[in-house]
Structure 1
């Protein structure tokens, strides 16, 4: 990596990129946490950061996620963003602000909301996804989170019917099921992703009338579809945002093209605000958990007349 000075700073490029990456490391979402990670474990992220730092440009992070709320009432409070999203967005804003303290041009975060990409597979109605994404953007405005913005399928394909949008994205960008099956067999990380998505789909299916084994077979099939669409969305994002530091809400191994980011504390590395609710503990900390579990430990709190989170009893 080049070592010449950053424009307007005496700090070398390599040192600046390492300083930015050190801000991300405490929030890394991963399953290989037994051995502490350091900046040298992430050459791809250092390379991505260097493209901005060498030019003296503002860093752009892209984060696919914030799709919609889970359809399971045992997990979430409803179909609109709640305190979990508010806290997560505030965290991302604060992270971008912290980058500005070690790199003067600062950073911004493009949240690439992907609910419409696979809404049919996760069985969430498109109007619910629209309402979630619109409220997410409104929340960003209300909270004054000026370093965040939302990008979704409507920004790419406008007012086309959503089934047509999904078909276009799938046909142009998605890998084949056969390619994914082969990858699942040979790659431990892809296998973990496949199993994690299958588990979420199984937990989130609330109206299945068949046997448990039939549900699991259907969810395994749908999991491949979700991964196909997620890969397609990632390629589409790369096409529209060719120069970014790529983040992920899924656990990522060291050396991966994306850096896994943890938004809030949770006991499970796969838990996100849209698959859970949040419990405000008596010690002031916040923890993501299933609604059914939070109800056992706390009292429901409303914000602006809507269910928001639970306060520990």
Structure 2
């Protein structure tokens, strides 16, 4: 049967279809009215990268920095290991790859770039907790048969060097200067929003502060600069290690930005992630992310495999 589509237009058509699978989950900073659907052509960076894989007939590679470790604030999370929130998010990402495979047989894979060690000292999480979290992610991926996912962290680049040495190496080689970052935050609204969002998370994640609230906010504002510096450094290292990959982000991104913001699960706050929250199963069977203390008020705690897993509203009615 003769081809009905010219060979040189085929990658663009397939690339558009693939990107259309991601668009319902796009997490953006731009105000978009609910009925309006942003066309795939508004994302030229992602289309170019996807098309390059399609032209080669190769699996599409996505990199997703995130899944660093659990928040150290026990009012927000169930513990320091992955739970149902992570399992649901991992399943979502694997299912997305499966959907891509249905329209593009070479398929896709997501490399989860676990960044806990990059800034663990700045967010107050012990390195052994970060190792345990990333190791358990790998275990969960294998146990659930999510073969289209993998985990990449600093150990894959710098081996068994001490954690502080790894952080210093990444910061010195890749991070922007503090002066340049401050200037960007003063002049760029998106950078300012990120800075404020990270500052808020640092304040919320501090559970053992004994000083004043204003002193805590000052300290977190300073640490936020370091977190952004290290995050930028991690992003550059990922780009160096995976130069062709399509870059995803768990943070909201402007339409058309080089990074594609993606929502993993439903949450009232666009910045909420599984590692800053607990999962709640609603009475209608849908899932949402929220602080542990809030979920505990409306749902009953469920344990799986001997560990706290999530909250369930339907079980709360039985109490």
TM-score computed with the length of structure 2 as normaliser: 0.94
SS at match of 1:247: strand
Match of 1:25 in 2: 23
Where 1:108 maps in the other structure, the secondary structure is strand
Instruction: Report the Cα offset of residue 103 of structure 1.
Output: 1.1
Say if 1:4 and 1:13, in contact at 8 Å, map to a contact too.
no
- When structure 1 is superposed on structure 2, of 47-56 and 276-285 the one drifting more is 47-56
Q: Secondary structure at the match of 1:67?
A: coil
CA distance in 2 between counterparts of 1:56 and 1:133 reads 31
Q: Quick check: 1:32–1:253 contact (8 Å CA) kept in 2?
A: yes
Q: Distance in 1 between matches of 2:104 and 2:31?
A: 28
What is the rounded CA distance, in whole Å, between the counterparts of 2:264 and 2:126 in structure 1? 25
Provide the residue aligned with 2:211 in structure 1.
210
* 1:64 equivalent in alignment to 2:81: no
Range 181-190 or range 216-225, more displaced: 181-190
Structure 1 partner of 2:116: 115
- Mapping of 1:1-313 within 5 angstroms? 5=7, 12-35=10-33, 36=36, 37-312=38-313, 313=316
For residue 270 of structure 1, report the CA deviation from its aligned partner. 0.1
Give the drift of 1:4.
5.4
User: 1:98, 1:179 → 2: CA distance?
Assistant: 41
**Alpha carbons 1:20, 1:99 under 8 Å: kept:** yes
Gapped regions of structure 2 (runs ≥ 5): none
Contact 1:62 1:244 in 2 (8 A): yes
**Alpha-carbon RMSD:** 1.1
CA separation in 2, counterparts of 1:255 and 1:28?
11
Deviations 1:165-184 (Å, cap 9, x if unpaired)?
A: 00000000000111111111
Distance in 2 of aligned mates of 1:188 and 1:38: 24
Change in Cα spacing, 1:155 to 1:56, as seen in structure 2 (3 Å) is same
Question: Which of structure 1's runs of 4+ aligned residues deviate more than 4 A?
Answer: none
Instruction: State the Cα distance separating 1:31 from its structure 2 match.
Output: 2.6
Residues 31, 269 of structure 1: 8 Å contact kept:
no
Distance 1:108 1:137 in 2: 15
TM-score (norm 1): 0.96
For 1:290 and 1:32, the matched residues in 2 are separated by 25
TM-superposed CA distance for 1:220, in Å, is 0.5
Cα distance in 2 for partners of 1:190, 1:51 equals 29
How big is the shift at 1:34? 2.2
Distance 2:297 2:97 in 1: 35
Q: Tell me how far apart the structure 1 counterparts of residues 161 and 243 of structure 2 sit (CA, whole Å).
A: 24
2 CA distance for matches of 1:297 and 1:33?
31
Instruction: Select between 225-234 and 209-218 the one with higher mean Cα deviation.
Output: 209-218
Q: d(CA) in 2 for partners of 1:25 and 1:301?
A: 33
